[in-house]
Amino acid sequence: MISLETFIEETNRAKTSEEIFLLYQKALKQFGYDGICYCLVTDHPTYGLKANHGAMQNYPDEWIKYYSQNKYKEIDPVLQFCFKTNQIFSWDALVNSKELANDEKLLMNEATEAKLLDGLAVPIHGVNNELTAIGLASTSGNAEINKDSMSIIRALSIQFHIAYAEKEAALSEAERITILNKQKNLSLSDREREILLWVSEGKSDPVIADILGISYPTVRFHMNNIFRKLEVNERTLAVVKAIRHGLILPTYLKRF
């Protein structure tokens, strides 16, 4: 099974966005997922990218065409729920947890008929109110869905999004130099790195406070500094970005 560390290294070295997508497909196949629809739901000024539903996808062509013709993007309950959560979720859990309108039920039933099975959605909320949503499906219906696999899939998806978006970004040379200089100056304190390593092990803030013998408010203070420095707004994204920039050692990521 490919590790998060290996996936980060390979996608960072990839020369094209298409190569990054192929690496993502390969990583997800180990969980039984062979269908991917990567959507920039909103504009992404961070990368200079415009909203693009299905910016990269390998869903069946017939389904993509049918979905577009029926304007399903406007009523898709999976897409709408991505605005409300930053957690990975299964399509079935969404259907079972709320009353869907008739047209929403029809959409979900037709997706099943199109062999989009065991569906998962991965919302990724960034700065500037940016929203990325990745839909995953299995044509065989034998996907591995459990808490651990979903956590790993989410981490892989965040790394894919960052690597892909950076590769696609249409930035001027001056902007690229600014970003590179900013990355060179990026740093975390020893305590911040220590806390982030425990975050990567799945430890909550109260548990980290107990482990390090410091107060909960102190942990929160350091976490807020980590978020500010890395320009992120949630924990998994902070871990992935810190690995990308060599701020923490991925060999400590036992959870993955």
Closest CA to 240 of 196, 189, 207, 186: 196
Residues 83 and 108 in one domain: yes
Q: What pLDDT, on the 0 to 100 scale, is given for residue 89? A: 96
Residue 159's Cβ-count burial label (10 Å; 0-12, 13-18, 19+) is: buried
Q: What pLDDT, on the 0 to 100 scale, is given for residue 3? A: 85
**Helix, strand, coil percentages, rounded to 5, for the chain:** 55, 15, 30
How many domains would you assign to the chain? 2
Query: How many angstroms from the chain centroid is the CA of residue 89?
Result: 12
pLDDT above 70 as % of the chain: 91
- Is-contact 144 128, C-beta < 8 A? no
Residues 35 and 91 in one domain: yes
Distance CA 243, CA 249 (A): 7
Residues 78 and 139 in one domain: yes
Residues 156 and 247 in one domain: no
Q: Which residue has the tokens 């009523």?
A: 75
Residues 114 and 209 in one domain: no
The SS3 of residue 44 is strand
Residues 164 and 205 in one domain: no
- How many residues belong to the chain? 256
* pLDDT, the chain, mean: 88
Give the pLDDT confidence of 64-105 residue by residue, as tens digits. Answer: 999 999 999 999 999 999 999 999 999 999 999 878 999 999
Residue 28 lies in a domain: yes
Residues 154 and 191 in one domain: no
Q: What pLDDT, on the 0 to 100 scale, is given for residue 178? A: 61
CATH of the domain at 27: 3.30.450.80
**Helices and strands of the chain, counted as H and E runs:** 12, 5
Does the structure show a pLDDT above 80 at 253?
A: no
Query: pLDDT-derived band of residue 185, with 50, 70 and 90 as boundaries?
Result: low
Residues 30 and 110 in one domain: yes
Give the pLDDT confidence of 9-32 residue by residue, as tens digits. Answer: 999 999 888 999 999 999 999 999
Q: Which domain holds residue 157?
A: 4-168
Structure tokens at 71: 């304007």
Give the pLDDT confidence of 122-148 residue by residue, as tens digits. Answer: 999 998 899 999 999 999 998 988 999
Residue 94 lies in a domain: yes
Q: What is the 3-state secondary structure (H, E, C) of 172-221?
A: CHHHHHHHHHHHHCCCCCHHHHHHHHHHHCCCCHHHHHHHHCCCHHHHHH
Residues 197 and 92 in one domain: no
- Is-contact 39 52, C-beta < 8 A? yes
Picking from 120, 140, 168, the residue at the C-terminal end of a domain is 168
Q: Which residue has the tokens 């220590």?
A: 194
Q: Is the pTM of this model over 0.85?
A: no
DSSP state of 98: S
Residue 76 lies in a domain: yes
Structure tokens at 87: 């957690």
